[in-house]
């Protein structure tokens, strides 16, 4: 079995956690119209771990990411990075969005150099950093293009380079490849794996795709339908595999089957909720 159930909030993991989600919940609105987006959630990610969160639509996985990113405040509990409570957005937590977050009025190089410049680096130094990260994501020749001149896949590479350019402690990725076609997505998945191995970043990855989660992550978290809470979590070894075709092995299929089974009930529940609303 290539996946093993694991308690990601186990007491043994908490003191060493790079990223700690401690009793976080989120309720939107108040009174009768209040919506519980996220039930009380505990999660600890150690340095260098790649944690993928899968769950049905509207299960609060993006809300969880937004809280860790500092875009939203939790209703209860707290999220912390290296033991320091998160109070707002910060450069130590790089965010990659699904799409539409690039600065369309800037060249690709200026997009990537935005972070270093915002942190007070000079123009030339920032440009040099941008060139390095554009090289890392394979966009060396596109520094002076504008985002609208690039394909969706290339735009996501810019987003990844931009987030990496500030050398964040953790990368928060909110369905970064969801809008891409299958072929582009597979290539980018391999690349993000290579980048993760090379840089050793802690990554929190939100996705709809079980395959993507199993292929990339060291840990896969399955969430329930709204209000989302952690239904199960697994340690997962496929990300260590050198074989790019590991997704076609029987062990992978077996692991996928186990998680699909868990997620199916939740997706049905989510659909039921939607129909009732």
Residue ranges binding another protein (CB under 8 A) = 69-71, 88-91, 93-95, 97, 99-106, 114-115, 118-119, 135-139, 145-151, 153-154, 162-163, 166, 183-184, 187, 190-191, 194
In this complex, which beta carbon is closest to another protein, that of residue 94 or of residue 228? 94
In this complex, which beta carbon is closest to another protein, that of residue 121 or of residue 267? 121
In this complex, which beta carbon is closest to another protein, that of residue 14 or of residue 91? 91
- Farthest CA pair distance, the chain: 56
The strand pairing partners of 173, in sequence order, are 96, 205
Angle between helix 152-164 and 108-118 (nearest 10): 20
Q: In what order do the strands lie in the sheet containing 219-223?
A: 3-5, 230-236, 219-223, 50-54, 202-207, 170-174, 93-96
CB of 122 to another protein, least distance (A): 15
CB of 181 to another protein, least distance (A): 9
Q: How far is residue 59's CA from residue 62's CA, in Å, rounded to a whole number?
A: 8
Q: How far is residue 112's CA from residue 103's CA, in Å, rounded to a whole number?
A: 10
**CB distance 161 to 139 below 8 Å:** yes
CB of 178 to another protein, least distance (A): 14
- Looking up tokens 């190089």 gives 109
**CB distance 169 to 93 below 8 Å:** yes
CB of 18 to another protein, least distance (A): 17
In this complex, which beta carbon is closest to another protein, that of residue 129 or of residue 222? 129
Single out the residue of 201, 106, 193 nearest to residue 149, CA to CA.
Answer: 106
Tell me the torsion sign for CA atoms 118, 166, 77, 176.
positive
CB of 101 to another protein, least distance (A): 4
**CB distance 8 to 222 below 8 Å:** no
In this complex, which beta carbon is closest to another protein, that of residue 160 or of residue 263? 160
In this complex, which beta carbon is closest to another protein, that of residue 173 or of residue 225? 173
CB of 224 to another protein, least distance (A): 26
In this complex, which beta carbon is closest to another protein, that of residue 10 or of residue 118? 118
The strand pairing partners of 22, in sequence order, are 78
- Sequence-ordered alpha helix ranges (H) in the chain: 61-69, 108-118, 123-136, 152-164, 182-199, 210-216, 250-276
CB of 170 to another protein, least distance (A): 11
């Amino acid at each position: 079995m290539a996946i093993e159930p694991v308690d990601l909030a186990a007491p043994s993991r908490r003191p060493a956690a790079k990223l700690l989600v401690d009793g976080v919940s989120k309720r939107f609105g108040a009174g009768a119209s209040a919506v519980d987006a996220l039930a009380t959630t505990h999660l600890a990610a150690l340095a260098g771990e790649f944690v993928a969160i899968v769950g049905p639509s509207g299960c609060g996985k993006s809300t969880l990411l937004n809280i860790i990113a500092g875009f939203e405040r939790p209703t209860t509990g707290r999220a912390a990075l290296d033991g320091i409570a998160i109070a707002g957005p910060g450069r130590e937590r790089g965010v990659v969005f699904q799409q539409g977050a690039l600065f369309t009025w800037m060249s690709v190089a200026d997009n990537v150099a935005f972070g270093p410049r915002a942190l007070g680096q000079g123009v030339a130094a920032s440009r040099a950093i941008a060139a390095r990260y554009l090289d890392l994501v394979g966009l060396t020749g596109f520094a002076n293009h504008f985002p609208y001149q690039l394909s969706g896949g290339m735009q996501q590479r810019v987003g990844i380079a931009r987030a990496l350019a500030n050398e964040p402690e953790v990368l928060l990725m909110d369905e970064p490849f969801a809008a891409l076609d299958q072929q582009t997505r597979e290539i980018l998945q391999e690349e993000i794996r290579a980048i993760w191995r090379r840089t050793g970043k802690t990554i929190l990855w939100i996705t709809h795709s079980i395959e993507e989660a199993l292929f990339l992550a060291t840990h896969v978290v399955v969430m329930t339908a709204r209000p989302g809470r952690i239904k199960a979590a697994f340690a997962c070894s496929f990300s260590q595999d050198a074989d790019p075709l590991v997704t076609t092995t029987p062990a992978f299929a077996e692991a996928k089957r186990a998680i699909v089974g868990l997620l199916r009930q939740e997706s049905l529940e989510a659909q039921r909720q939607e129909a009732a609303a």
